[in-house]
């Protein structure tokens, strides 16, 4: 009962978002945040709307969260927009999802450029429809020299597939005598992944109450802090992102070791 009351009173003292942002900026921020954006379908179902309406609303959240993450000072934001398994969805839904990057970038690219955001993409670009490829490539080209937030879309991305491709490339290099067996290391494998130019995620967020990784960045998430929330992606807002960041800042990251003084 007491706990309930305390929790209630804590909730009612709401700190303005701007102040929360300032406070967070005084401490170590997660450099790279990766998000599994889940719950678009359920958001739509709750409103008796078609699933694609949820994806469309989810696209608006992408805009909101990108802008805010950039303002906070996050360096990399990786968003799981389409997995290698998502092709199993109904054709109409897949087609809609493949149109979303185009719509998003068609509408927001000038704003992303103005905000100094650099767009990147990881995943198998070759098997995307031409129109999706064109829209993404244009955004990558036009933002290539920006040095603010890196907005990295995982599109037609699957982590196992990524690892298989990396291993296969290394095996070929060994076979051709370009790499010695002894040179195979964690760093070498990391350098063959689609994230080779990025830091590993510090914080992973998954929305909608599902608690699994769904073939997302399996290698890169080895020491990442996880944050799961019941909020559905279209309802996820700036304050939800602050909740995750604030919680991250209270974590004690040890990377398998001990903090100074803990060994005594």
Residues forming the site for ligand FPP (CB under 6 A): 37-42, 55, 58-59, 62, 81, 86, 97, 100-101, 104, 153, 208, 233
**Nearer residue to ligand FPP within complex by CB, 148 or 179:** 148
3 known member of a binding site: no
Catalytic residue among 38, 70, 156, 202: 38
Name which of 110, 211, 99, 106 is nearest 155 in CA terms: 99
Least distance to ligand FPP from the beta carbon of 213, Å?
14
Q: Per the annotation, does 213 bind a ligand?
A: yes
Length of the chain: 264
Minimum gap (Å) between residue 37 Cβ and ligand FPP: 4
Among 119, 215, 74, 106, which Cα is nearest to 158's?
215
Taking the least distance from each CB to ligand FPP, the nearer of 50 and 184 is: 50
Answer positive or negative: Cα dihedral of 38, 203, 78, 107: positive
For the record, the structure tokens of 5 come out as 């009351």
| Minimum separation from the CB atom of position 42 to ligand FPP (A) | 3
Binding site annotation covers 83? yes
Active-site residue identified among 3, 23, 70, 86: 86
Q: Is-catalytic flag, 86?
A: yes
Q: Is 38 a catalytic residue?
A: yes
On whether 39 is known to bind a ligand per the annotation, the reply is yes
- Cα(252)–Cα(47) distance, integer angstroms: 40
Output the residue with the shortest Cβ distance to ligand FPP.
41
Pick the closest to residue 41 from 253, 208, 219 (CA basis): 208
Give the C-alpha separation, 100 to 52, whole Å. 10
Check if the beta carbon of residue 149 is closer than 8 Å to that of residue 119.
no
Rounded to a whole number of angstroms, the minimum distance from the CB of residue 51 to ligand FPP is 6
Nearer to ligand FPP, 79 or 203 (CB): 79
Indicate the residue among 32 and 55 with the shorter CB distance to ligand FPP: 55
Angle of helix 130-143 relative to helix 91-114, nearest 10 degrees, comes to 20
User: CA-to-CA distance for 160 and 151, rounded, in angstroms?
Assistant: 22
Annotation: binding site for Mg(2+): 38, 225
Annotation: binding site: 38-43, 51, 55, 83-85, 87, 89, 206, 212-214, 225
Which residues does the annotation mark as catalytic?
Answer: 38, 86
């Amino acid at each position: 009962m007491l706990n309930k009351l305390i929790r209630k009173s804590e909730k009612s003292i709401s700190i303005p978002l701007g102040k929360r942002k300032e406070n967070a900026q005084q401490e170590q921020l997660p450099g790279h945040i990766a998000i599994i954006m889940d719950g678009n379908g359920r958001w739509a179902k709750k409103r008796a709307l078609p699933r694609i309406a949820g994806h469309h609303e989810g696209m608006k959240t992408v805009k909101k969260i990108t802008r805010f993450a950039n303002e906070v000072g996050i360096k990399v934001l990786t968003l799981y927009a389409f997995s290698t398994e998502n092709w199993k969805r109904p054709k109409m839904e897949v087609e809609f999802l493949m149109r979303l990057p185009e719509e998003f970038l068609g509408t927001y690219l000038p704003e992303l450029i103005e905000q100094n955001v650099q767009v990147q993409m990881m995943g198998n670009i070759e098997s995307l429809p031409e129109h999706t490829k064109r829209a993404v490539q244009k955004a990558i080209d036009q933002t290539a020299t920006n040095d603010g937030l890196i907005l990295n879309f995982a599109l037609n991305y699957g982590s196992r597939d990524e690892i298989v491709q990396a291993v296969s490339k290394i095996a070929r290099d060994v076979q051709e005598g370009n790499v010695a067996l002894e040179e195979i290391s964690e760093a070498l494998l990391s350098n063959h992944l689609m994230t080779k130019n990025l830091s590993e995620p510090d914080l992973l967020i998954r929305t909608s109450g599902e608690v699994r990784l769904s073939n997302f960045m399996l290698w890169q998430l080895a020491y990442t802090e996880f944050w799961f929330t019941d909020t559905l992606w279209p309802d996820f807002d700036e304050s939800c992102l602050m909740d995750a960041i604030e919680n991250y800042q209270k974590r004690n990251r040890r990377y398998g070791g001990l903090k100074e003084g803990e060994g005594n």
